[in-house]
Amino acid sequence: MRTGPPSTAAPHRDAPGPAWVRVATAGAALATVGAEAWLAVASLRGSEPLGTLLLVHLAVSAALTAVAALLYRFGGRSPCFLLLVVATAGLGPLGALGSVAAAVLRRAFSRRATPFAAWHAALFPTPEASPVQALYERLVLRGAGPAERSTVAPFQEVLALGTVAQKHRVVTMISDHFRLPFVPSLQSALNNPEPAIRVQAATASARIEGGFLKRSMALQERIAAAPGDPGILLALARHHDDYAGTGLLDPTRERGEMRRALELYERVGRLGPVDREVSEATGRLLLRLGEPARALPYLEEGAGGPDAPPSALALHLECLYRLGRLSALRALARRHRERVADPATPAELRRFLTLWAGDEALAPAGGPA
């Protein structure tokens, strides 16, 4: 969080107030100094009993306090006068003399002193970066480049090999721009050997959880206003799905979030036609919850057709394997075996298709990727 210099437009809190208040303050200060000076002289001469001198001091202190309270209501907030009140009540003549000396010194030095706003701005200048500079800092991880020919490094590499300052910057970026692909990096930071990095990562985790909770409450309010809106229901379902996938929750809470997301996905499906992404998400959750038989119809719908996305196809293959339907698994792999030669296909899916399609000639050069 960046703290800028204090505003100079606000009224000064030490202002003594109107002219008559300044005159009254000066008069009260002179009267107090005179009374305390008389007490000091009388005490040194012994012309008055000690009890009388003490009563006079108490009376002066009480009167000075009452005057200070009255002047404060009308804007009399001079720090030197408040010091005089406290010092006189506690130290007597010595306090009054010291307060006068402090007021004189303050008056002398304040004429040459640097204003606080200028001093603060000199110590903590506010950087103003152009959009190009901001983009550059994000690309180079704020100076944490790993190699001579490259200024971009994966978060995992910086957390494993970078300096403490570079790790701090990575965790800050994860916290400020959290996405699900950042989860492994955040978990790595939570287990980092550096205690400071672990503390920062734990703080980032709490901040991320707070953000999920805040968005969940906002979506719940929108659903309360429009209970049958499939768009809001789908947004809340994806929100709980993402929250369960952060890896920040214990197993019980994670399963609870998945169940909540599953209920919402199924509720969206009952409201009207369901697109492929919703079917895939429903099947994936059922598969993670250990219910492959229920997941299979959704995954067959999501992975139907030769243009099925790799993620849906991988889930469909996994579901068939967990159900023990090896013949259907082999047939599905053979229907999509041309994807083995497609570099856009993920490496794990290419290896799986190569294995179950039973056609080694389709493997890329050098073996499966």
259 in a structural domain:
no
Q: How many other C-beta atoms can be found within 10 angstroms of the C-beta atom of residue 232?
A: 20
| pLDDT of the residue at 173 | 84
Task: Check whether 98 has a pLDDT greater than 70.
Answer: yes
What are the percentages of helix, strand and coil residues in the chain, rounded to 5?
70, 0, 30
Question: What's 5-62 look like in SS3?
Answer: CCCCCCCCCCCCCCHHHHHHHHHHHHHHHHHHHHHHHHHHHCCCCHHHHHHHHHHHHH
**What is the per-residue pLDDT for 1?**
38
Kindly state whether residues 139 and 101 are assigned to the same domain: no
CA distances from residue 54 to 42, 45, 50 in whole angstroms, order as listed: 11, 15, 6
CA distance 253 to 181: 20
Q: 180-190: buried (b, 16+ CB within 10 Å) or exposed (e) per residue?
A: eebbebbebbb
Tens digit of each residue's pLDDT (9 = 90 or more) over 198-239:
898 888 888 888 888 888 898 888 888 887 788 888 888 898
Encode pLDDT of 31-72 as tens digits.
Answer: 888 887 777 777 777 777 877 878 887 888 888 788 777 777
Question: Is residue 75, in this structure, part of any structural domain at all?
Answer: yes
What's the total number of domains in the chain? 2
Identify whether residues 108 and 161 lie together within a single domain: no
Number of residues written out for the chain = 369
- Determine the average pLDDT of the residues in 78-104: 80
* pLDDT tens digits, 245-263: 877 788 888 899 899 998 9
- Is 34 part of a structural domain of the chain? yes
4 in a domain, yes or no?
no
- Among 164, 183, 207, give the residue marking a domain's end: 207
Give the residue carrying structure tokens 């768009």.
231
Please check whether residue 74 lies inside any domain of the structure: yes
The range of the structural domain enclosing residue 65 comes to 19-113
Average pLDDT of the residues in 128-140: 60
What average pLDDT does this structure show over 177-184? 81
Same domain, 92 and 160: no
Identify the top-confidence range among 79-88, 176-185, 197-206: 197-206
Same-domain pairing of 167 and 81: no
* 79 and 138 together in one domain: no
Q: Are residues 32 and 72 in the same domain?
A: yes
Whether residues 48 and 107 fall in one domain: yes
Q: pLDDT confidence of 128, banded at 50, 70, 90?
A: low
Mean pLDDT within 335-348: 80
Residue 134 pLDDT:
64
CA 110/CA 144 separation, integer angstroms: 45
